[in-house]
Every structure is written in structure tokens, then in C-alpha cells.
Structure 1
Amino acid sequence: MASGNLTHLNGLRVFTVAATHLNFALAAKELNVSPSAVSHQIRTLEEHLGSRLFLRQPKQLQLTQEGEHLYQRLTGPFREIETVIGQIRHQTGTHQVNLICRPFFSSFWLAGRLQGFWATHPRISLNLIHQNSFSPHDFERADLAVVWGKAPPAHVTAMPLVAAGLSPILHVSLAGRLGVPHTPAALKGYPLLHEDSRLGWTEWFEHAGAPNAEGSPAYLIDDTNVRYRSMCNGQGVMLGSAALLRPQIESGELIQPFDIVLSQYRYWLVLPQGRRLSSRCEQLVDWLRHEAAQSARTPVAAGPNGG
């Protein structure tokens, strides 16, 4: 390959991510850049190649014949590069383990247990990398990750860690003003705190048999920690995991009015495929799984309108 082509390696990586999603916004989220930066990289690469790689339709992208050919050629080599880089890092690394996890999980499940890990593993330095999104590309700078969703991402080795089903949670101060809702439909009279869309609440209402119930007003807050603080300030009802908020529910600070739960959501411990874990990583995996098993043995008390 001519040396001039090497200047476009980053553009080729951006292209593979965009081609995987067929969506510049999703590619930007995975790469932690703006959609305009993705569009610029693709446009620069197309100008260099002298060929269009995407057909830009009004509602979606499609690969051109040249784009499909390039995508098929690039995915394997980029995956091999990530694997080799990871292997070299782990062979020459220190006693540090780099763990990616969501900030809310770290705040409400992991942080309170870390003292026990440090007491039993004093020679392992744990570096927590907090982010809400994840892709296998993140294993270039991390050893392990804890992700959230109905299913783990593709192209990783995954194991279920903590069941994190979603149900409505409200602060006692809001219940003091508006009362505790007695039916799912009653939530129509409560302000609802949404993530970055209304899909979570829509899914819960359908599961609860009240598909037309919508709170008014509705607030969209994409950060779970901020959404939690808003709920604690009595500003609305959020969909939260009782498994993570058990102490606050049992103390009476928070109320889980229903035991109607979107139970398919959970936290997953994910490992890179094709990479042999170091001893320190294996110790962290074993500790996380042990702690998760211990926490699962303590049930959360049902809400006043459960059943």
C-alpha cells in the first residue's frame, strides 16, 4: 500500500462503523464524535477513492456496490488489529485492570462494594471508565465492560451479571403531594421522566396493560444520574431498577408502587472475543460474579400495589 493511503486509515475505520449501522448518528455515538464529523470523514474518503460509498436516502443509508465491497474487505482486518493490540497490551501491561461501566451502575451498585475488592485484591489497580454507550472497539482501551440492555452487543463474550428490570419509582416527596398511584393508568396524572425518547415508558405501559397512559408534562433527560436526582427532588416518576435502588426503597425514601417489571433488562459483563484474559482480569470477573450472586439472594420488597 502506498504511504499516501495510510492517511485515510481513520476514515476507513469510521466507514466500517457507519456501514455496520447504516446510520451516521449511531456511528457517531459509537465513535464518541459528532454526526457531522462522521459525515466529513466519509465525504473525504469518497473523494480520495473517487467513488460513492453510500446512497443517502431520506430515511436511511444504503451501501453502493463499491461500499459493500470495501466493507466486506475491511471488517475482518480491523477486528484482527483490535485483537492483536489487546493481546500486546495485556502481555506487557501492569497490574491495572480497565473496566468500562455505566455511571449509574457504578454509583448505585459497584462503588459500595469496591472496598471489599480492594481489601481482598490489594495488588490490582482498578481503573473505572464511565460511559453510557459501548462498542467492541472500546476494548482497544479497556479489558472488560459492564453494559446494560435486553441483550449484550454482538462480537463479544457475554455473561449476565445483575438483573435490572425496570418499573416506576418515585420519591416520597412527590407521593406526599400527589399520592401513591394505585393503578398504572393513574400515572397519567404524574410527570414522567424519560430517557432520550419515550420508548421505555411506552413499553412499560403496554406491558402493564395501559398502553394509552401518558404522563403530562414529560421530561427527557438522557443521563440516568441526572434523571435520578430529578426524581429525588420530587420532579417526576422514573423507570428505574429496584435491584440497584433497594436500600432507598427499603428505607422508605423511594417508592416502587407496582411490581410490574420489564424483567428482560439486565447488566451484562462483556469480554473481548479471542483474547485470553490476564490473571488480574479473571480475578475481577470472579469477584463481580460472586457479588452479583450475593446481591441476587436479597429480594426487593413488593410495592403497595403489587400483584
Structure 2
Amino acid sequence: MDWSSLPSLSALRAFEAAARHQSLSRAARELNVTHAAIAQHVRHLEADLSEQLLFRAGRGVAATEAGQKLAQKLGEGFALIAEGVDALREQSATRPLTVSLTPSFAMNWLMPRMGGFWQTHPDITVSLTPSAALVDLRHDGFDMAIRFGNGEWPGLESTPLTSGEFWVVAAPNFLEGRHPTSLPELQQDPWLLDAQMLELRRVIEETGFDLSAVNLNVLDSNELIISATLAGLGVSVHPRSIVERDVTAGTLIHICSLPRADLGYHIVTLPGRDSANLRTFRKWLLNVASEPTG
């Protein structure tokens, strides 16, 4: 289709509304513009088509024969557009909301809370895809991702979800009654580190603690790190949001904190993609993130 040969869509909409209502004023109210704007659009359209489309009739307007034919076709066309848009909106409202997130965040933060969302929003299906891989929201077809970092991802919109505070933790049976409160007190202990959390290594080493001087076991995922820590195999460091529930339950002990306000989990979406279901899930996530743990 050669769009350059068509008149302005605004002018076509204005004319169709004026012809249907037989009134410039009612057309202006429907389109939320001024009476003068409708009149100007109609004049421009008549000039573009070299054809009179409307004439004064009493206190309103009426369409000429040419105007009637055009108004009928425009009405049919706009109705088809509305039908297509409504069908797509209905499809969007019923299809699952797809969310990419890391396995550790899914297991330790989101899933213990998801029951609340299912209870209050049984009409919204959320499809969770836990993966350590960095997905492309646009090409991989995800509505949302929950990512850890500083929130700066080019071409994406991000909303902070959790703080960037890190907690150094260990199991009670590992500490055996000891009560360390700082990293230097853990120099002789075995450590557990996630190979994929490069930010975590930097956060630890920026405190002056030398990881190369400790007995360090590097595992391939944070899920393995948490499991090994719970089993009493060493000391580990995690975003507070990942281990806070275990600390509250007493299965892990919080030794000390490593604050990093620039890091945290973020809700990440594509610009302009903001369906009703997405807004509802985002709002719920932010609400539960602000609630105290326990």
C-alpha cells in the first residue's frame, strides 16, 4: 500500500465523525479536539481530494453524495481496525504473562510469595522461566525479566525491586557456636562462591578481603551454593533478598552485611509494552517487595 497517496489519518477520522454525527461540534467532542480543528481537517481533506464533502444543513452539516460514499467506506474501514485491535487485546488479556528470572530468585524469593498473587489474581496466568541465561525480551518473546545489576540495560526500562545489600551467611552447625561479625574473622573458613556472580567477587574484594588466600570452592550456580551453605559446607555471600527468609527461619545465620546501593534486582520491560496484566503483576511485585520478611 502506498501510504503517501492517502490523506492524513486525522483528517479522515475528523471527516468520518462529522459526517456520522452530522455535526462538527459532536465530532469534536468524540475526538476530544476543538470545533475549529474538525473544520480545518475537513477543509484540508476537501482540498486534497478536490471534492466538496460536507455542506451546511440547518444547525449542523450533511455529506454530499461523494462525502456519503467516502464516509461509508471510512466507517467500514475503521470498524475493521477496531475489530482487529479488540481481538488482539482480548488475546493479550488471556495469554500467559511470560517472565524470565534466575533460578535462585525464583526459588528463594518469588515462589514463596506467588501463592498470594494466585489467590488475588486467579484470572492472570504467569509463566515463569528460570534460567541463568540473559534473554532478549524482544526476540525471545518475554513480557518481563527480573535481573540483578545496576539497572542500566540499553533499550530497556527497569524498576528497582530489591536492595543491593549483600549478606554473608553460614549454617548454624558450621559456625558451631561461634559468632563472627566481620570478614577478617572468616579468613580460616572454607568459602563458597557462584562462578556466574562476577559482581559478587568484586563486592567482596572491594572490602579488602583476599579471596585468593582462603579455601574457596567455586560452584556453577547459586542454587548449589545455597544448598551447600545450608548443609554446613562453608561461608557464602548472597543478595539479602535471596537468603533473608532462611535467616528469619534460623536455617542460616547472618554474619555481616556488604551494602551496595548501586546493585539489586530490577523489573525489566520493553519500552511501550505495558499491558494490563503486566501492570498488575509489576504492582504486586513492588508491593510484596516492600513488605517485611517473616
TM-score where L is the length of structure 2:
0.62
SS at 1:270's partner residue? strand
Is the 8 Å Cα contact of residues 102 and 130 (structure 2) preserved in structure 1? yes
Q: Separation in 2 of the partners of 1:158 and 1:278?
A: 16
Q: Distance in 2 between matches of 1:192 and 1:139?
A: 38
Counterpart of 2:260 (choices 243, 262, 285) is: 262
Measure, in 1, the Cα distance between the counterparts of 2:174 and 2:189: 9
What is the CA–CA distance in structure 1 between the aligned matches of 2:200 and 2:281, rounded to whole Å?
A: 34
Q: Give the drift of 1:136.
A: 3.0
Q: CA deviation at 1:194?
A: 1.3
Whole-Å separation in 2 of the counterparts to 1:156 and 1:190: 41
> In structure 1, how many angstroms separate the alpha carbons of the residues matched to 2:212 and 2:166?
17
Asked whether 1:286 is paired with 2:283, we answer yes
Q: Which whole-Å deviations, capped at 9, do the CAs of 1:21-70 have from their partners, x for residues lacking one?
A: xxxxxxxxxxxxxxxxxxxxxxxxxxxxxxxxxxxxxxxxxxxxxxxxxx
Q: 8 Å contact 2:168–2:235 — kept in the other structure? A: yes
User: What is the rounded CA distance, in whole Å, between the counterparts of 1:215 and 1:200 in structure 2?
Assistant: 19
- Structure 1: 5+ residue stretches without partners: 1-87, 301-307
Distance 1:200 1:236, change over 3 A: farther
* Inter-CA distance 205–146: structure 2 relative to 1 (3 Å threshold): closer
Q: Deviations over 1:148-167 (max 9, x none)?
A: 11334221111101114223
CA drift of 1:137 comes to: 4.5
Counterpart of 2:223? 225
Give the conservation status (yes or no) of the 8 Å contact 2:151–2:159: no
CA deviation after TM superposition for structure 1 residue 112, in Å? 1.5
Change in 2 beyond 3 A, CA 1:272/1:255: same
Aligned to 1:192: 191
Q: Which sections of structure 2, spanning at least 5 residues, go unmatched? A: 1-86
Contact 1:101 1:131 in 2 (8 A): yes
2: CA distance between counterparts of 1:263 and 1:233? 30
Q: How far is the alpha carbon of 1:203 from its aligned partner?
A: 2.8
SS of the counterpart of 2:126? strand
Partner of 2:124: 124
Alignment partner of 1:246 is 2:244:
yes
Are 2:162 and 1:165 equivalent residues in the alignment? no
Indicate the SS of the match to 1:259.
Answer: strand
Taking the TM superposition and a 5 Å limit, the aligned residue runs for 1:1-307 are 92-93=91-92, 94-137=94-137, 140-176=140-176, 179-196=178-195, 199-200=198-199, 202-208=201-207, 210-212=208-210, 214=212, 216-275=214-273, 277-295=274-292
C-alpha separation between the residues in 2 aligned to 1:222 and 1:90?
41
How much is the aligned-residue C-alpha RMSD, in angstroms? 2.7
Q: Which has the larger radius of gyration?
A: 2
Amino acid at match of 1:212: D
* Counterparts of 1:139 and 1:283, CA distance in 2: 23
Give 2:255's aligned amino acid: P
Question: Aligned equivalents of 1:287 and 1:154: distance in 2?
Answer: 25
Q: How many residues align?
A: 207
